[in-house]
A and B are shown apart, each in its own frame.
Chain A
Amino acid sequence: MTFVDFIVTNAPALLVAIPLFAAFTIPAVGKISAAARNLWVMGTMLLTAAVAFILAFRVFSTGTVIYVFGAAAANLAVPLDSGGIPIRIIFTVDAMSAFMDVICAIVGTSVLLYSLSSESRNTNLEGYYALYLLMITGVFGMVSTGDFFNFFVFLEILSLASAGIIAYRIDGGLAVEAALKYFILSTLGAILVLFAIGIYYGQYDALNIAMIAQRMQFSMLDKIALVFLVAALAMKCGAVPMHFWTPDAYSMAPSSATAFLVVASQASLYGLFRVVFTMYNMTMNCATVGWIIIILGVLSMVIGVTMAIPQKDIKRLMAYHAVSQTGYMLLGVGVGLAVLGNTTLTSAYGFMAMEGGIFHIFNHAMYKGLLFLTAGAIFYRIGTRDLNKMGGLGHTMKYTMIFFIIGALAIAGIPPFNGFASKLMIYESVYLFNPIFAIIAMVVSILTLASFVKVFHSVFMGPQLPEYADVKEAPLPMLIGMGILAAIVILFGLFPQPVVDMLVAPAANALANQGGYIASVLGGA
């Protein structure tokens, strides 16, 4: 077996094994020198990203990949002597999981490149990078796993690592306050998830998502479990009315980590979609649950953007916009869910709405990551996040300004950028479902643009302030990290159609097609 074969066969396991191994060895490597540690972390991240791309390529070309931990063969999901129950931990990577893996790989790499430079002024970086790699592990694990208890374990790894990284710079206690708020809410959410797991196990004697989906009866207990899961995961992805941890956590975390926290919250969004589409699908009343998700989405859009406008802290402002953009994804996918059973409506607009929502996950990760990185670059150079104290930075930080413009136009949905591509799909399809929601979505976009014009004006425009006269451009690794994301924002904005055909449509298909998911694990159809 050649090395390439080895990587291809074991890709799902390597996705969590490599960052986990590297995270555990960092304290030892850090003893050698800072350069060795940086090289070690960056090499790990590049290797993991390469594995994620290889895996995604395999999934998109040949279909769902399953990987059974500790079995005699990687694809032996149901052992012969187990009575038809998949007892081992299984990673089930279908198109939707592969889609999320690609997002995590791209954002993870550029954020790490950025933080090599942005964090270099701080001490005790071993812990920072170890927590960062644990977050990578958590996200990859959450989106790849096919076992619901395993999902809970990776969710907790992600929460613990995120809380640690948010509190990393104690910042006079402010960061710890934000982390405490985030972590207590996360723990309560995780307890709800564990209750739901107990309910499934008690009823169906299974933890495997495919097995639960196959045996799903939608009894009273399943309804309770559904409520627990929707509440917990919607809270974790920052939807209104459970959004209040988002601005605190996003603004107090180190800037580089904030960009990755966006991906972390989207992993919870993925969990929410996996639960409603793969585990329940047609057994529940899709219209009701779809409407609940739509209402959560519309509330998030409107409240997020209205809270963002008066903010004076640049990262807090962006965090509220993140809440608002999460609303678009919930709206798009919620519309797809609401009409799931109806073939005519699904082919008319439901599927397109789902595609729009899923495409928006990708685009949001890119441009929101880019915006948080530019905010971090500004903070790195001038040491404040207060918009009122900024001004005239366009004279000296030209590249940062260009990246900020790209991100701001993309989040507002202006044509040549990727935000427009996904928002247009959402507008068109949601308009057919209910014109009012489409109009709300457009108004929210306009408010987003207004808010970012204000930020742009107060940060970059105006005369050069005397106290910032010797401010320099951000260091090169930070610019490269931002540049990768900016290039993707432009590229996906210019050529959205191939991306939709190659990545987004298979992902939406994989979500809607519950039977395919079950068959890929349990065999048969």
Chain B
Amino acid sequence: MLWNLPFITVVVLTFIGIVTVLMKKNIIKILLGINILESAVNLFLVSLGYREGGVAPIFTLAPSELMVLPTPQALTLTSIVIGVATSALVLSFAMVLKKKYGTVDINEIRRLQG
């Protein structure tokens, strides 16, 4: 049970993220929901890479030579970098929309229809 705790957290975070994305009307809050979802995925990837007793695969002053494969960490790092780009782009979209439409409420950003 205790070993599954990270995965349970992943499920809870995913749920929170999806609810935030679906229920909130403010673009910034939607972005926060997406960020929570991204954290859920990152936690999922990092938990997959955990091995009991394994240390990070860095020889510099390592406590033991039993090391984990660094692939999940590399994936997580890449995903974080992409997440930064995503956040920056959505925030700048929100800024432009605020300037042009005067609102960041997605109920009022509906000029494209049909």
Partners in one complex: yes
Contacts A173-B99, A183-B89, A201-B48 supplied; 9 other A-B pairs, CB < 8 Å: A167-B96, A173-B100, A177-B97, A180-B27, A180-B94, A197-B75, A201-B72, A247-B114, A313-B114
A286 to chain B, nearest CB (A): 29
* Cα of A170 to Cα of B95 in the assembled complex, Å: 12
In chain A, residues 182-241, which have Cβ atoms closer than 8 Å to a Cβ of chain B? Answer: 183-184, 187-188, 190-191, 194-195, 197-198, 201-202, 207
* Cα of A289 to Cα of B38 in the assembled complex, Å: 28
On whether the beta carbons of B96 and A173 are closer than 8 Å, the reply is yes
* Cα of A177 to Cα of B106 in the assembled complex, Å: 9
* Cα of A458 to Cα of B110 in the assembled complex, Å: 28
Contacts of B86 in A (CB 8 A): 156, 160, 183, 187
* Residue of B with least CB distance to A157: B82
How many B residues are at the interface, by size bracket? 20 to 34
Count of chain A residues near B, Cβ 8 A: 40
On whether the beta carbons of A191 and B100 are closer than 8 Å, the reply is no
CB of B2 closer than 8 Å to a CB of A:
no
Quick one: CB contact mask for B42-79 with A, threshold 8 Å, 1 for yes? 00110010000000000000000000000110010011
A410 to chain B, nearest CB (A): 25
* Cα of A163 to Cα of B86 in the assembled complex, Å: 10
Contacts of B85 in A (CB 8 A): 156, 160
On whether the beta carbons of A163 and B38 are closer than 8 Å, the reply is no
* Cα of A201 to Cα of B75 in the assembled complex, Å: 11
* Cα of A187 to Cα of B87 in the assembled complex, Å: 10
CB of B90 closer than 8 Å to a CB of A:
yes
* Cα of A313 to Cα of B114 in the assembled complex, Å: 9
Where the two chains meet, the residues of A that have a C-beta atom closer than 8 Å to any C-beta of B are 87, 149, 153, 156, 160, 163-164, 167, 170, 172-174, 176-181, 183-184, 187-188, 190-191, 194-195, 197-198, 201-202, 207, 247-248, 251-252, 310-313, 316
Contacts of A153 in B (CB 8 A): 78, 82
A468 to chain B, nearest CB (A): 24
Where the two chains meet, the residues of B that have a C-beta atom closer than 8 Å to any C-beta of A are 21, 27, 30, 34, 37-38, 41, 44-45, 48, 71-72, 75, 78-79, 82, 85-86, 89-90, 93-94, 96-97, 99-101, 109, 111-112, 114
Q: Given A160-B89, A176-B96, A176-B100, do A191 and B37 touch, yes or no (CB 8 Å)? A: yes
* Cα of A297 to Cα of B86 in the assembled complex, Å: 30
* Cα of A181 to Cα of B71 in the assembled complex, Å: 32
On whether the beta carbons of A176 and B114 are closer than 8 Å, the reply is no
On whether the beta carbons of B48 and A180 are closer than 8 Å, the reply is no
Contacts of B97 in A (CB 8 A): 173, 176-177, 180
* Cα of A176 to Cα of B95 in the assembled complex, Å: 10
Contacts of B99 in A (CB 8 A): 173
Q: Given A183-B89, A184-B34, A188-B37, do A198 and B112 touch, yes or no (CB 8 Å)? A: no
Partner of A194 from B27, B79, B96, B112 at Cβ < 8 Å: B79
User: Most B CB atoms within 10 A — which of A87, A179, A252?
Assistant: A179
Partner of B111 from A174, A198, A310 at Cβ < 8 Å: A174
A255 to chain B, nearest CB (A): 17
